[in-house]
Amino acid sequence: MTDESSDQFDAIIIGAGMAGLYQLYRLRELGMSVRVFEAGSDVGGTWYWNRYPGARFDSESYSYGYSFSKELLEDWEWKEHFSGQPENLKYVNYVADKFDLRREIQFDNQVKACHFNEASKSWTVTLEDGSRATCRYLITAIGVLSVPVMPVIDGIKNFEGESFHTGEWPHEPVDFRDTRVAVIGTGATGVQAITEIAKTVGHLTVFQRTPNYCAPLHNGLITPEEQSEIKANYDEIFSKCKTSHGAFIHNPVRGKAVDQTPDEREEFYEKLYTERGFGIWMGNYRDIMIDEAANETISQFIKKKIRARVEDPAVAEKLIPHDHGFGTRRLPLESGYFEVYNQNNVKLVDVRETPIERVTAKGVQTSNQEYEFDYIIYATGFDAVLGAFNRIDFRGVGGVTLKDKWAAGPRTFLGIQVEGFPNMFTLVGPHNAATFCNIPRCIEQNVEWVSDLFRHMQAKGHTSVAATKAAVDEWTEHVHETSERMLFTKVDSWFMGINQNLKGRDTRKFLLYAAGVPKYNEMCDEVAANGYKGFTFGT
């Protein structure tokens, strides 16, 4: 039954980040009434929340922006090859203003529950302030890394200095000059934050549990000549992304690492190490992500680079990964990260050697000493992929919860729909290529595909759509089958749903899609071309 007292819309979108905004733009074109609910006070998603020092793209800026509007591409000028958070947030705001998107967005309101009404085939959405709204179509645009996770360490609340999680950074700049700062965590976020904080800090202590391979970003300002070239070549840039495994401008080279001579490999790796962005990960030999022997060659190369860049050999050894191969966890890109450890006001604490026992009023107590701080920064990551779904009480047909449905791991069709949850669409959801992607490229594909589906339904007079169990079973099998050969499925990381700070997240469940963006897009197109095979429609 539709709730008479609630606001009613054709569609509700949860989240006003890159995905939510573009979906709103497209649904408006279809003449739908739409409401977007956003927990933050403004648009931007990731770029709204992650304001920590050093936050920036690892994607080339011009491959990250929206491609749907020629006018927008012409108007907007990226200043840096890898743009920083303040500029990125400005960009999202610019888009929201340019297309007048704010009028359908309700800010400062977190969605708490979404329940499907079987009789009316509609969704009731309940917000944290208790208000409710109903819609026919429910679209989640809640992000892959949007639920920050604090570490499980005793005494965190006792600390008398200031502390922040990088994903919930204050809106005012924090001045670290002449202060003693701790950073806990050395993932992609920690690497960016540590490098930036080290530039001004009084004293910095980094608490590292697992070292990561990192490679140089090689950021730089975009010159006027480069700007003209970028603008003249946008079509080419975006079509290149369409052919790339992760929708970046980087594509693997033809040869295999194991077929080259050591000198040939060395020369190629040296070249990649001097080039911008993810080339060394995404534009490398095609076997480095699937063959351990091939992977070992690039792993050794990066280890050698770390040893060369870090002056103290004992510190260098601590910064070198020993339990996984290069690129099998998310590769942090860096701009002088290893040199930070050559500063005499920076200390690296390996918490596997001296575990953190608790946070105290003054700082951090490890097994061998107490460190005193003015600030503790938690760069401890997110409840990846599933977290944003788990914090909303989704209930589909028969009152079944999404949590129960996914208890043994996500099951979806195309990473877009869940069986038993009709008219609900999970943009950038689990088992969707967008989870392992230069995200806006996949967001545009997801949004356009869903919008085309609505157009199809409008033309046919359908008002409900549901993925079949057979389609979900087949897709889930495809996702697992195509991931098996990837080396990253044999390593603990957020890709595999592992998070030591969350209960029940100690067994690997594959959350991403590893067959690549081109394959994903092809399969989505095939489903559409076959009259949306795998879905049933109703009125």
- Please count the other Cβ atoms lying within 10 Å of the Cβ belonging to residue 476: 17
> Residue 461: is it exposed, middle or buried by C-beta count within 10 angstroms (0-12/13-18/19+)?
exposed
CB under 6 A: which stretch of 186-194, 426-434, 452-460, 502-510 binds ligand NA7?
186-194
Query: Distance between CA 181 and CA 379 in Å, rounded?
Result: 13
Stretch that binds ligand NA7, among 206-214, 261-269, 274-282, 286-294 (CB under 6 A): 206-214
Site for ligand NA7 in 323-342 (CB under 6 A): 330
Let me know: does 164 contact 378? Beta carbons within 8 Å.
yes
Closest-approach residue to ligand NA7 (CB): 187
Identity of the residue, 25 or 436, whose beta carbon is nearer to ligand NA7 in the bound complex: 436
For residue 164, the cross-strand partners are: 377
Going by the DSSP 8-state scheme, the letter that residue 135 receives in this structure is E
Query: Does 351 interact with ligand NA7 (rule: CB under 6 A)?
Result: yes
Q: Is 500 in the site for ligand NA7 (CB under 6 A)?
A: yes
Would you count residue 17 as binding ligand NA7 (CB under 6 A)? no
Q: Is 347 an interacting residue with respect to ligand NA7 (CB under 6 A)?
A: no
Q: With contacts defined by CB under 6 A, how many residues of the chain interact with ligand NA7?
A: 23
Cα distance between residue 94 and residue 83, in whole Å = 15
Give the list of residues 6+ apart from residue 351 with CB closer than 8 angstroms, or none: 207, 208, 209, 366
Binders of ligand NA7 in range 367-386 (CB under 6 A):
379-382
Distance CA 381, CA 25 (A): 31
CB 353 to ligand NA7: min, Å: 12
Task: Determine, following the binding rule CB under 6 A, whether residue 230 of this chain makes contact with ligand NA7.
Answer: no
Q: Which of 28, 102, 132, 209 binds ligand NA7 (CB under 6 A)?
A: 209
Instruction: Name which of 139 and 145 has its Cβ closer to ligand NA7.
Output: 145
Q: Work out whether 207 is an interface residue with ligand NA7 (CB under 6 A).
A: yes
| Separation between Cα atoms, residue 429 and residue 450, nearest integer Å | 13
Query: Which helix or strand (DSSP H or E) is residue 320 part of?
Result: none
> 493, 298 in Cβ contact below 8 A?
no
Q: How far is CA 227 from CA 81, 123, 223, 382, in A?
A: 10, 46, 6, 35
Nearest distance from residue 151's CB to ligand NA7, in Å? 3
CB of 109 to ligand NA7, least distance (A): 25
Q: What part of residues 113-172 is at the interface with ligand NA7 (CB under 6 A)?
A: 145, 151, 153
Per the DSSP assignment, residues forming a β-bridge with 440 are none
Applying CB under 6 A, among 126, 210, 328, 412 the residue interacting with ligand NA7 is 210
At its nearest, how many Å lie between ligand NA7 and the CB of residue 212? 7
Between 138 and 141, CB nearer to ligand NA7: 141
Residue type, 304: K
For residue 365, state whether it binds ligand NA7 (rule: CB under 6 A). no
One DSSP character per residue, 505-533 reads --S----S--S-HHHHHHHHHHHHHTTST
Chain positions contacting ligand NA7, by CB under 6 A:
145, 151, 153, 184-190, 207, 209-210, 330, 351, 356, 379-382, 494, 500-501
